[in-house]
Structure 1
Amino acid sequence: MSKARVVVLEVSSGRLSVTAAAHTYGLSRQHIYRLLQRYHQGGLQAVDPRSRRPASNPRAVSDEVIAAVVLTRKQLVADGLDAGPVTLQGHLAHQGLPVPSTSTIRRILGHHGLITPQPRKRPKSSYHRFAAEQPNECWQSDFTHWTLADGTDTEILNWLDDHSRYLLSCVAYRRVGGGDVVATFTATATQYGLPASTLTDNGSVYTSRFTHGHNDFERLLASLGITQKNGHPGHPQTQGKIERFHQTLKRWLAARPRPASLADLQNLLDAFCTIYNTARTHRAHPGRLTPEQAYLALPKASPNGQPHPQFRIRHDTIDQFGKLTLRHGSHLHHLGIGRTHAGTAALILVTDQTVTVISKTGHHVLSSHTIDPDKKPTGATKTKTPADSRGICNP
């Protein structure tokens, strides 16, 4: 029998007074009076210790929210999209449901067996992190590999805005060359404006500094007054944002059947661009913004250096004879591109004595020409790219 029952029986039978019972059993007189009141209202069982659990818990997660967390997690994983607690918070808010903390969401996922154990990682706080303060302050670029259904290896060249994580360009190639970097950069800059700087690794398509020279991309950036930055060899963390982006891209592609052709792969990439930029919030933005919203939220940065006075970009269409007409200096030049490209919309990049013609649909170099502005042209040096070696990219 509990002490509370003994005290109540002793006092109610008259064997002990309240004061004597308090002294004998080490209880306060006020507590004994409360026990007697419970006894008179509910009998002997009412004096037993009551649960200290609150009658209600306004912070308890509802079954509706738990179900939404579980179902959303499964759907995102099936679609090949990020499905961490922060991402799930954004989806719950979009559905108009209460948003639990990330620790609560993680506990729900663990209870339902939806967390894959991972090895211990280096703490994020130990990394020196940086982020551009404005859109177009820095563009990161790199390419990654993906295989087609028949096992053919392809390369996907990407341009990512450092500040907003906005995916500016995502184009599939058989093999990425230096001309492809120039072409995609030029087309992207024409659409979004020039960046203040670029950040890439030390691949030969981006830089020739280790061979003590300058490639076409380096000369282009210099002519535009754009600062070129390259990561240290063997230190991919410098380009961490685009390296992390490649994981997201490959996870999404892996959730779908392998494309049969380069054009099919490009169609997938175009769909991914829309989802990545507009249909999902990025955890790097505290306001739960999509990359597109973050890219448009602030004024764009521009190159700090002085662009070359002779640099210009023209939009034109190759005529039925496979030619383009360009006035450069004091002469009118007729550039032979090739009849196979008749009717193709093109960007004409003019710097000093070099003219580069770029497809606006395939984002690849159609031809390059060297022109002496003081003389009438006698010919042109062209570098053609087979039409079937590039993916199709919507402008």
Structure 2
Amino acid sequence: MTEDENELRRRNICDFRHSVVAELGNPYLNRGQLTTLIKEKSKRDYEIPYSKRTTITEGCIRRWLCLYRKFGKQGLNPQIRQDLGKSRLIGEQEQNGIIALLESNPELTAIAAVRKLREQGVIKTEISSSSLSRFITSQGLTSKERQKVIMKEKSLKFDFFSPLECVQSDVMYGPEIPDKNGKMRKALLMTFLDDATRRILYGRFSFSEKSILFEDGIKHILKAQGMIGRLYTDNGSSFVSNQTRRILDILGITLSHTKPGIPQGKGKQERFYRTVRDQFLRPLDISAVKNLDDLNARFNTWLECEYHRSPHRGLQQHITPLDAWIAKAHHIKSIASSIDLDRIFLHLLSRRVYKDSTFTLGGTLFEAPAILSGKRIDIYFDPHPPVDRVLVSQGGKEYGDARIVDTYANSKVKRGYSRSSDLQSGYEHSDLPVNLTATNMGGN
């Protein structure tokens, strides 16, 4: 049992004992009333913490009452054993050997550790599984506790050398500002931080944290800076989109996530957001911010003029992020000229073409080439609204852009057969004279 678990156990026991004797400490109770009340309490059933017993004897209640009167509630705490954490059945040398072996080899089980120490001659006595289990638990060396230590070590501070070798991204909740309709809404800041230099490669406030905003940041960095080696994010919905994963797989960029419940890996981003709150948002007059564009303009000015030009304690010799970037810029790998980023960042979906050669996307009806009627096709499109251009592909062959169906224009198309109109149309478009008589046409 760990120290925290022991403390919780003592606190729960103390609270229970206090609930039993608290009213007995009333100074207005005479001896007869006190005796009657103790007898009554000894006949009740209780849910006693960490015990299978359900009743308490009169002698036990009187002893607790004596301690309560003498030392207060603290006197009801169970005494700490002098040999707590020490096994009386396992020798001191054997205990030290088990502890040292398990700490240096976290993957070993306690039984395997004892077997190995017995082979080495460190342990010479028989140790029962129950005694070993109690000892391991008291030392906080259970398999679960040792795994926690391993995970903590893996999440300790890490640094990359080259710019863009690892780019971290996260989202911070910012102030409320008016949207285009004048309604106050919470602004969210999504940023991309270069691990090696602490430079902010992309940062923008918006009213959502959709995955396309994450993709916008990636695309901006690839076009403006160079090739990203690895992206490191948490498990938020913005960072786990299937479309985003498909795009990153095409580019060969690794996407890594922090372990759930272990925030230590996001330390650099959290530290930057603390700087944003202290040095940008705190001095900012939020009431003077007109809209998102205004807020982003102010943020970018602060970013380039102050943050990137201020010494950073997380960098060697406390240089600025801008100086660190310039010093290592020659390590950046450029994007191959053959890569069409605009095409790669198009979203891909599958659709079945209706018999009238149409399909829908986001509630909009598009018309595909008639040859694709009834077939399943792949469509590529820019996800930013409005979606008015969709590239159609089927079986690896491209068929160009689909046309948005104009239902109003289609309603004006004449359908059915009219003899008089067809005849008139035929006259107007034939080589025959318009004033032909019925007899010339074979009429009566």
TM-score (norm 2): 0.42
TM-score normalised by L of structure 1: 0.47
**Structure exhibiting the larger radius of gyration computed from Cα positions:** 2
Q: Which has the higher contact order (CA 8 A, sep 6+)?
A: 1
Relative to its length, the structure with more helix (as a share) is 2
